[in-house]
A = this chain, B = another copy of it.
Amino acid sequence: MITLYDLSLQNDRRPSPFCWRTKFALAHKGLKWTEVPVGFTEKDKIAFVASNTVPVLKDGETGVKDSWAIAIHLDKAHPDKPLFKSEMALSYARFANGFVDTVVQPALFPIVVGDLYERVRLADQPYFQESRGKRLGTTDFAAFQAKAREKGVAAFRGVLEPARRVLKEQPFLAGTHPAYPDYALAGAFMWARIISPLVLLDGDDVVHAWRERMLDLYDGLARKALAA
């Protein structure tokens, strides 16, 4: 019995990019799970693993926090259909995680933060205002976002170039089949999709075609999620 604690916004939207890594990982392994929605300020729900952030996984009696630790746990506890078949697979996943965390997500955040704020639960908006306001130096997220989009959409497309080069040659970042590098990047796109109607990609971009494939995976797991 696997339970995923997942960030929840208004209308129970589920945008967390890190939770999406875990959902893709679970689906990759053919595992079933149930979900517990967690608001930004419902930290008590995940206190049992001393975590401040989702995803948190409860797998039988074992609690695991952090999407990467969860992926490692899943391969250990459920060896079938491994996420990491080789040291190379693990290394590539680490690199792709690092790329998404330090390049893709930072390019995305400023151009969707206003849309995100609008969709945060009302009860969580003061928390969001304080924490993200401190980071951005303003709580006028709509104005910040509008200004950021002037150059930010083109910049976001630009930072995807390493992924684009791979996807010109093959259907998935991992090759003919998707694996963790795909899930890491798809997590960022799911975050954007669920919180913002902003058009991020040109229709003729190979990254666009790849994103369509990611939306279709595992019986449309990602496509079924409530989008903005």
Contacts and interface: CB of A to CB of B under 8 A. Distances in A.
Contacts of A162: 95, 98-99, 102-103
Chain A at the B interface: SS class = helix
Interface in A81-123: 85-92, 94-99, 101-103
A29 interface: no
Interface string A146-169: 000000000000010111111001
Chain A residues touching B, range:
20 to 34
A92 B95 contact: yes
A85 B87 contact: no
A103 to B, nearest CB: 7
A208 to B, nearest CB: 17
A175 interface: yes
A2 interface: no
A69 to B, nearest CB: 13
A164 to B, nearest CB: 7
A108 to B, nearest CB: 16
Contacts of A161: 98, 102-103
A176 interface: yes
A207 to B, nearest CB: 12
A211 to B, nearest CB: 17
A17 interface: no
Contacts of A101: 165
7 smallest CB-CB distances across A and B, nearest first, come from A98-B162, A98-B165, A92-B92, A87-B175, A102-B161, A99-B162, A94-B166
26 contacts: A86-B86, A87-B175, A88-B88, A88-B92, A88-B179, A91-B166, A91-B181, A92-B92, A92-B95, A92-B181, A94-B165, A94-B169, A94-B170, A95-B95, A95-B173, A95-B181, A98-B161, A98-B163, A98-B164, A99-B99, A102-B161, A102-B165, A103-B103, A103-B159, A103-B161, A103-B162
Interface of A: 85-92, 94-99, 101-103, 159, 161-166, 169-170, 173-176, 179, 181
